[in-house]
C-alpha cells in the first residue's frame, strides 16, 4: 500500500510541476510579447530626425498586412533611374484614412515623404504621399 501512495504522490507533484511550468511559460511570454512587438515596429532602421521627399512613377503597390509597400522609379541627380521603396503601415490602418488597393496605381506619378533608411539604401518609412493631382494620402507614421 505504501508503494501506491508513493507513486500517486510523485504523480501529483509531477502534475503540479507541469502546471507551474506551463503557467510560468505563459507569464513569460505575456511579459515579453510587448517587447517583441515594439522591436518589430521599431523605427531603428530609419533616420527619424529628418524627412526627405522623392518624386517618381509607381512600379508596384502592395496594399497588404503587415506593411503596405509602394515602389517607384525616381531619377537621381545624375539622371539615372533608381527604384525607391516606401514602407507604410498595414492596409487595415490605412483604410480608415481613406486608402484602398487602388489609391495608387501602376505608372502614377507621386511624391513620397518619409524617414530615410539609415543604411543609405533607397528606402524610407513613408509619412505621406502626394498624388499628381495634389491629393495628399496620410500614411500614419509621424503625422
Q: Sign of dihedral through CA atoms 85, 90, 92, 98?
A: negative
Distance CA 21, CA 25 (A): 6
- What does the pLDDT read at residue 42? 61
Smallest Cα–Cα separation from 125: which of 60, 43, 56?
A: 43
Tell the residue number behind the cell numbers 531619377, with chain if given: 75
Mean pLDDT calculated for residue range 48-74: 95
* pLDDT higher than 50, residue 39: no
Amino acid at each position: 500500500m505504501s508503494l501506491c501512495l508513493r507513486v500517486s504522490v510523485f504523480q501529483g507533484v509531477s502534475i503540479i510541476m507541469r502546471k507551474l511550468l506551463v503557467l510560468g511559460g505563459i507569464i513569460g511570454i505575456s511579459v515579453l510579447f510587448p517587447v517583441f512587438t515594439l522591436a518589430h515596429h521599431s523605427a531603428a532602421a530609419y533616420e527619424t530626425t529628418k524627412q526627405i521627399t522623392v518624386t517618381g512613377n509607381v512600379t508596384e503597390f502592395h496594399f497588404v498586412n503587415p506593411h503596405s509597400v509602394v515602389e517607384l522609379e525616381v531619377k537621381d541627380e545624375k539622371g539615372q533611374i533608381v527604384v525607391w521603396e516606401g514602407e507604410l503601415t498595414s492596409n487595415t490602418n490605412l483604410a480608415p484614412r481613406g486608402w484602398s488597393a487602388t489609391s495608387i496605381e501602376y505608372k502614377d506619378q507621386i511624391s513620397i515623404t518619409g524617414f530615410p533608411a539609415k543604411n543609405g539604401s533607397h528606402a524610407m518609412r513613408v509619412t505621406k504621399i502626394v498624388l499628381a493631382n495634389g491629393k495628399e494620402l496620410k500614411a500614419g507614421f509621424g503625422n
